[in-house]
Amino acid sequence: MSRIKKRIDMPSQEPKQRGRNFQEVALGYSPEDAAAEASRCIHCPKEPCVAGCPVEIDIPAFIKLIAEENFAEAAAKIKEKNSLPAICGRVCPQENQCEGVCTLGKRGEPIAIGALERFAADWERLHAPDQKMPEPKKQEGKVAVVGSGPAGLTVAAELARIGYEVTVFEALHVPGGVLSYGIPEFRLPKGIVRHEIEYVESLGVRLLTNVVIGRTITVEQLLDKGYHAVFIGAGAGLPHFLNIPGENLNGVFSANEFLTRVNLMKAYEFPVYDTPVKLGKKVIVVGAGNTAMDAARNALRLGSDVTIVYRRSRQEMPARLAEIHHAEEEGIEFRLLTNPTKIIGEGGWVKAMECIKMELGEPDQSGRRRPVPISGSEFILDCDSVIIAVGQSPNPILTKSLPGLEMTKWGTVVVDQETMQTSIPGIFAGGDITSGGTTVIEAMGDGKKAARGIHAYLQKKALV
Ligand code: FAD
Ligand code: SF4
């Protein structure tokens, strides 16, 4: 097996070209590139990459299968632990997880584990039918899962594999959570999300859309209807705002609304699809997390000039480095150490934004240096649309309908970190509703832990 030292880059669309279309930016490995990249793995004895993966994929084993050009088996190996591999291969921050601890990274470049995971899953989708899982022995117990994001899909898939009857209830008309309504087509094509959700359904999971738990039906009613345990994976979809004058003007969007219009409702193909998005020529996006980058890059593709306004410096930007690079390459302007103070309107519509310059002071509770306004440094930026992407928290519709559910002061649900059980026996939770917002793979890791917790709970219940 030949060992090449240099990591093989994944080809991608040129920045100028991709800024004008919604097609996927990263193009994926060819079989030759995948096998060559996989053959760089030295199969180090400690395999730190495995512990770096929140869903415990046997990374060295699937990489070996790719190096041997045994692509279908590589995909099956990943699916033993992860039901959403093509999604994770695209959106996981591998640099902080498996690749961040890869032994090869100490002296050179880590193995491109994410790109290889994506390759195996794509290869299987395009060239081989999904492998049929052996039919599990039926278990006594019906489980309801609230929310079809990565946390809900994972707990559902894991429990179906053990043999439980599982139904997922989703408030929106399309399943997938942020994977469907938040992350843009050009980073995560929706056909791929659909395919992996169909795979979860093929394991025996029943998926019902347009059901808002807490409104259409309550958790208590689900228990009365014969469900023995409930998992809450309702995410953190309630957007935060800046609370500055002018935020209710026409032309101001939360990133959540903007991304939902574009990604889920396909506003970029209006009027072929019914939902429009009225965006101006000059758009300001406030914030510098992944959501802000996604909103900015979507706005650019809709034909606007886009500026990101962020109150701290580049070093504190929470978005993945790769996303920041992509945004810069595509021509998005960054105004750092700048904070909005007022949105100025004319005839009810946004016309400009007043900002103030900031400097960094002492570190705050988050450990990051606190941004401090420089008095008298106010200035005006022209714009006709503003997208606010400064964080979100869990929507209280469901949690308010559950008396006795212990919550934190941030509106997240308190759980036992081992079992993911809440303060109410038989009710479990995980993903963004417990963390306040992390990553797809962390939400899936919670789903795995909760599946074990629910299994143990139901087994114990059956013995009583
Ligand atoms: P969600 O994905 O939010 O799913 C929750 C689901 O529950 C939704 O479908 C919602 O409609 C449904 N629901 C809510 N209330 C109810 C109810 N009462 N009844 C029924 N259903 C309900 N992470 C990464 O790892 N990589 C990235 O590149 C990345 N990019 C992101 C980009 C954006 C724009 C955003 C917003 C987030 C991004 N994240 C990324 C974070 C990641 O998407 C989330 O951490 C993850 O989706 C959380 O999963 P979840 O299952 O907890 O919740
Ligand atoms: Fe291979 Fe890196 Fe994992 Fe070691 S840590 S087994 S080199 S992928």
Mean pLDDT by 10 residues, the chain (464 residues): 73 88 92 96 95 94 97 95 95 92 93 97 87 78 97 97 97 96 94 95 96 94 96 96 96 96 86 85 96 96 96 91 92 97 96 96 84 96 97 92 93 96 97 94 96 96 70
Spatial contact of 173 and 210, defined as CB atoms under 8 Å apart: yes
Q: Which atom of ligand 2 lies nearest, measured to the CA of 48?
A: 5
What is the pLDDT, as a whole number, of residue 135?
80
92 in contact with ligand 2, CB cutoff 6 A: no
- Going by alpha carbons, the residue nearest to atom 5 of ligand 2 is 102
Between the two ends of the chain, the Cα-to-Cα distance in Å is 56
Instruction: Map 113-131 to HEC letters.
Output: HHHHHHHHHHHHHHHCCCC
**pLDDT tens digits along 182-194:** 999 999 999 999 9
What is the pLDDT, as a whole number, of residue 1?
45
pTM comes to 0.93
For helices 71-79 and 113-127, the axis angle rounded to 10 degrees is 110
What is the pLDDT, as a whole number, of residue 130?
59
What is the pLDDT, as a whole number, of residue 463?
64
Q: Which atom of ligand 2 lies nearest, measured to the CA of 110?
A: 2
Say how many Å lie between the CA of residue 252 and the centre of ligand 1. Answer: 22
**How far apart (Å, rounded) are the C-alpha atoms in residues 211 and 247?**
31
**How far apart (Å, rounded) are the C-alpha atoms in residues 151 and 406?**
20
Say how many Å lie between the CA of residue 333 and the centre of ligand 2. Answer: 38
Q: Which atom of ligand 1 lies nearest, measured to the CA of 256?
A: 36
What is the pLDDT, as a whole number, of residue 398?
93
